[in-house]
Amino acid sequence: MKQIRLGGTGPAVSEIALGCMRLCNLDSKEAEALIRTAMEQGINFFDHADIYGKGGSESLFASAVGMTPSLREEMVLQTKCAIHDGMYDFSKKHILQSVDGSLKRLQTDYIDVLLLHRPDTLMEPEEVAEAFAALRQSGKVHYFGVSNQNAAQMALLQSALGEKLIVNQLQFSLAHTGIIDAGVHVNMKDEAGIMRDGGILEYCRLNGITIQAWSPLQYGFFGGIFLDSPAYPELNSALEKIAREKQVSKSAVAISWILRHPAKIQPVLGTTSRAHLTEMCRAADFTLTRAEWYALYRAAGNRLP
């Protein structure tokens, strides 16, 4: 599997990541098998958050594989913080406490990448900068990023930081294309032409920030998987056609569609099925043509002006 460098200056990671949100639904043997399968497929990047399973996913991840220094060196670990008790919290105190909790659960001395989960409108950029600086100087966190932030929010935070934000994790899939729609419908008076995120795709590309696509097979906000969904007959037909031609699964084609974008978007796979994970990793073995990419975009219900 190919590797990319997060943010251009961050760690070298597999172009596909394994998301660990649902890991806590497995037992220890199942979790270990999933993680080992991911590594066998060339995945070295694992995405966590302190709220996944109320910390249980992080704990299970480390205990299942029997975390050792040599194994840790083979992995790039990312976790997220800031969601708790019915609010978002970018305070220095909470960020530092969250990282200490994740370090303990993951049985490691450092987090490769720390993301701030959903935006905190009460954010004080200077306070976040203090927290990041303390984490960086202590060696507890090597790189930083955000999740679900728009361009202006990122620019505001970046204005106070002493280090570059290297990641923004955003929902993106064939059935959730908001980050590209407004760029396609520029100067159009239609629903798709409404820019809701301040041009986050272009902002990230201009500033060398890697976009990570969460829920790459979902539609809506956890509305369900579009594969074989009766809500997306045309899309599934188009996926099936390409899948047959390339002798892969429809899920692999859907992930390849994300990989085809020149922004080098990194899909975060949330499956807990080893077989499904292996199928989706085949997306790294081929590249869709421009015609195939746009055919799928249209089949998902998107109109070109």
Neighbouring C-alpha atoms within 13 Å toward the C-beta of 230 = 0
The answer to whether 24 and 53 are in contact (CB under 8 A) is: yes
List, in sequence order, the alpha helices (H) in the chain.
Answer: 28-40, 56-65, 69-73, 92-106, 125-138, 151-158, 178-184, 200-206, 233-246, 250-259, 274-281, 290-299
Query: How close are the terminal C-alpha atoms of the chain, in Å?
Result: 36
Q: Which two tokens stand for residue 210?
A: 């890697």
The answer to whether 174 and 296 are in contact (CB under 8 A) is: yes
Exactly one of 52, 203, 219, 297 is catalytic; which is it?
52
Q: Is 232 a catalytic residue?
A: no
> β-strands 210-214, 165-171: how paired?
parallel
Q: Which two tokens stand for residue 255?
A: 């992930």
- What residues act catalytically? 52
